[in-house]
Every structure is written in structure tokens, then in C-alpha cells.
Amino acid sequence: MKQPYKQKKTNKPTEQQSVQVTVGQQMPLTIKRLGINGEGVGYFKRKVVFVPGALPNEEIVAEVTKTGARFTEAKIVKIRKRSKERIEPPCPIYDECGGCQLQHMEYNATLREKQDIVRQAFERHTDLDMNKIKIQPTIGMDDPWYYRNKSQLQVAKKGGRVIAGLYAMNSHKLIDLSACMVQHKATNRVTRVMKQILGDLNISIYDERKHQGLIRTIVTRVGFQTGQVQVVLVTNEESIPRQDVLLDEIKKRLPEVNSVMQNINGKKTSLIFGEETVHLDGEEVIEEKLGDISFELSARAFFQLNPIQTVKLYNEAKRAAKLTGTEKIVDAYCGVGTIGLWLADGASEIRGMDVIEESIIDARVNADNHGYKHATYEVGTAEEWLPKWVKQGWKPDVVVVDPPRTGCDEKLIQTIIDVKPKRIVYVSCNPSTLAKDIEQLRKKGYKVENVQPVDMFPWTAQVESVTTLEFKL
């Protein structure tokens, strides 16, 4: 039986709190489970120790790298007993990059552990009786490689050449990615050629420390079903020197690119996009299809990063909604309308909202393209629109939420509690914030009916899930 994270609250110092460990100290550990970030979790005199790269059931010698009041971080010094599920990571820069956390583990084993990561979150952040909550086995991929339809790679100059990649874990070292094994091969190729073009034309590259230079980020998105490709150049300034030459080279060397956009972000920020987007060449949007539904995607519009698994995720959301054809549905955090349109044929009306105007424009176009006259999309937040609609006499039967990793806004939670829809379908990309939000809803009369994890990002520690909540008071 795996040990839960949840600890009983007490005012007295516990043994765990009083254990003293120091950086550099070595200790024997038996790894019990994976933590929410994919690290191995062991216990030293009841104190939690997180060890990146360690797997459940392994016996290791670990060296402390960081100490804290509630937990310790350590690294593997030696594996005394190796897990039968440990494999050799196929990616040549796996350890250096840090973008994936679980390539050293058999794929089916990662699915089991992701189910457990969801269970851990519920154990830690809710007062639910876990014997009465059914967390289903994780739905995985048949071929868990080259599945991401979008890359957002920071650009820099290194040794006189242009590189584009991700920052190594816990550092500001940029790792050049040329053939990422979880990115669609088209995004890999386009990014490689874009680096060559920028270098050949000697176009200025952004220097973060000096806050000078032009090209900050190369964003590439591909339609899995359509093959259409969009390139977005995120720049520090509005003007692009030799823009015509740049666009000519893109046409010549990358004929598969259908859309070239520029996004301007002149702020000192870690955020990728700025507020202004400019159309440079080709189409302003690209098209993607999920099943029989097509979607137009603009540069900043949110769209699920793994289209193959998205179909499975949305089918689970549809199953959770239990539609009979008469339900009124709110699609909060609707993006370009993907979930709502997936449910539209089983509902009497769909209403959605998003704070990004471009997404709402796309959502309206997507609904019109499919003849869904019963779909309405507005710019703004659910906590702004839901009370307005209720005041007008329109009350949803089902609310679907698909929030960012931070979870639902507190005002949205309270709005849902006030509106009291019969059913909530919570699509989550963060088990911890899911569990915290569910605990608030549970206290106000909502019962958890089912939790279905879905592996949207194989080889990473991330796990999405669809949770059904029914109002029972």
C-alpha cells in the first residue's frame, strides 16, 4: 500500500518536522511512488525526500541537494536495487533538457503512476473517502511520440549561430532543440530551417540580459489532419529589417508554411506573447480537424497540444456531460470553442467565453462553419457573463471548465456555487488545483461521480483528467 502525502494536522512538533538533514548528506532510500513533478518519493525518518530520476520500488543511495522544513530534495548517487520498469531514454538530450521527466520508465508504468498522481492530489487536498472515489486507469496513446502540434522555442545566439530551444530545468541555460521526439516532425523541421534563415540573413536575435535585439521566440504550429503550418515570430520591436527578403526565403525554403505572423512583445517578461499580432504573409489562420469538426486557429488562440489524445479527452467530457439533447451548456475558458462544439450536437444551447478576443473570434467562425446556430461566444470571464445570463432567465444545466494550471478563478468557483448547475464537467491539467477546487464544490453540495485521467503528454509528469460532479442537495 502506497503511503499518502496527507499528514494529520497537529500543533505539536512531529518527528518529520524535527529531523535534521544537511546538504551533501547521503542516505539510503526506498522509493515509494512518483511525485507530481515525476520525481521519486522516499522517506528518511518519516521526512519526505524527492529524488528526480528515481522510480518506485527502487532502493537507492541519495545525496541531499536542498533542505526545507517540510521536505528534502536529493539526487541519486547509486541504485542498489533497480526497477524492472526502468529503461534507457531514447532521447539523446533527455537528461540535459528536462522537458520530459519519465523517458526512463516503461510507458505503461507511467500511465499507472499518473493515475496515482491524481489519487495523491485527492488524498492531500480533499477530505473525500478515497475508498468511495473511482479514479479510472489512465487512457494512454498507442504511439506516444511526436505528438505535440506546437512548439514555442526561445531564440539566442551561441558561438555565432542561432539556436532555439528550452531552458534546462532549474537553470537559465538554453538547450538547442533540433529533433525533439515529442514534437511533430513538421514543427521540428520548420524551426530548424527558420534558425538557418535568421542566421543567413543576419537578423538580430534578442539578448534577454541587455533587453536588445529583435527575434525572441519562434512559435510553430501544425494541423495534424490538414498538414497546414503556421510560423509566429515573436519580436522585441515592431519593425523587421529586410522583411521582404525574410518572407521570400521562408516561401523558398519552407513551402509547407501556410501562415506567417508576427507578435510584438517589447516587455521584460517571461510571457511568450505580447498583445499585438501582425499578419505578415499567407493566411491569417490555419485549420485543424478533430473528428468531423474543423477549427480555425489564429496565432494566439489556445488549442490542445496533442490532437490525437484530445479526441479521447473530449469524448470523456461528452460522456461526463450525460447529454440528452435538452441541456443548456456553458463552456468556460472556451478558447476557440473546441469542447463546446464537441458537445454541441447533444445540447439545446452552448454558450462560451474567453478573455482572449482572437479566440472568441475563432470560436464564432468555427461555430458558423459547422452551422451551429445554438452556439454563442462572448469576450470576458464566466464570472462576468454567468450572472448576467441567469438574471436574464437563462440558467445552464451543465458547466464545463477547462482552466489553466492555476485552476478555476475563485470568483468563478463562487459563481458556479451561486448558479448551481446540475452537473459540472471539470477538465483539468493539474491534479492539485483540481482537488482544491473540488473540495470547495464538494462542501456546497457537489458529489464526485467519476475521475478519468488521460495522458495528453506522454513521457512527462503531466496528467489531464475529466471529473464529473453532480449537485446532490
65 falls in which pLDDT band (50, 70, 90)? very high
pLDDT for the residue numbered 303: 87
| Cα 83 to Cα 403: distance, rounded to the nearest angstrom | 36
| Cα 301 to Cα 261: distance, rounded to the nearest angstrom | 13
337 falls in which pLDDT band (50, 70, 90)? very high
pLDDT for the residue numbered 302: 83
pLDDT for the residue numbered 13: 42
pLDDT for the residue numbered 212: 93
Fold annotation for 123-140+306-471 = Rossmann fold (3.40.50)
Q: What is the pTM of this model?
A: 0.89
Cβ–Cβ < 8 Å for 453, 320: no
Torsion of CA 315, 316, 322, 324, to 10 degrees: 0
Lowest mean pLDDT, pick from 138-147, 162-171, 418-427: 162-171
| Cα 356 to Cα 404: distance, rounded to the nearest angstrom | 13
Mean pLDDT across the stretch 323-338? Answer: 94
> For the chain, what are the domain ranges?
1-6+20-86, 123-140+306-471, 150-290
Kindly report the average pLDDT of the chain as a whole number: 93
Q: Can you state the angle between helices 431-442 and 107-125, rounded to 10 degrees?
A: 40
* Half-sphere CA count of 279, side-chain side, radius 13 A: 9
pLDDT for the residue numbered 70: 83
pLDDT at 4 over 90: no
Q: What architecture does CATH give domain 1-6+20-86?
A: Beta Barrel (2.40)
Cβ–Cβ < 8 Å for 258, 282: yes
- Which residues have a catalytic role annotated? 429
Reported as a single tens digit per residue, the pLDDT across 388-398 is 999 999 999 99
pLDDT for the residue numbered 14: 47
pLDDT at 386 over 80: yes
Answer whether 1-6+20-86 and 150-290 agree in fold: yes
Question: What burial class does residue 402 get, using C-beta atoms within 10 Å of its C-beta: 0-12 exposed, 13-18 middle, 19+ buried?
Answer: buried
pLDDT for the residue numbered 8: 40
Calculate the CA 388 to chain-centre distance.
30
Contacts of 463 (CB under 8 A, 6+ apart): 114, 115, 117, 118, 138, 431, 453, 454, 455, 456, 457
Question: What burial class does residue 12 get, using C-beta atoms within 10 Å of its C-beta: 0-12 exposed, 13-18 middle, 19+ buried?
Answer: exposed
Cβ–Cβ < 8 Å for 21, 64: yes
Fold annotation for 150-290 = OB fold (Dihydrolipoamide Acetyltransferase, E2P) (2.40.50)
18 falls in which pLDDT band (50, 70, 90)? low
Torsion of CA 134, 136, 137, 140, to 10 degrees: -160
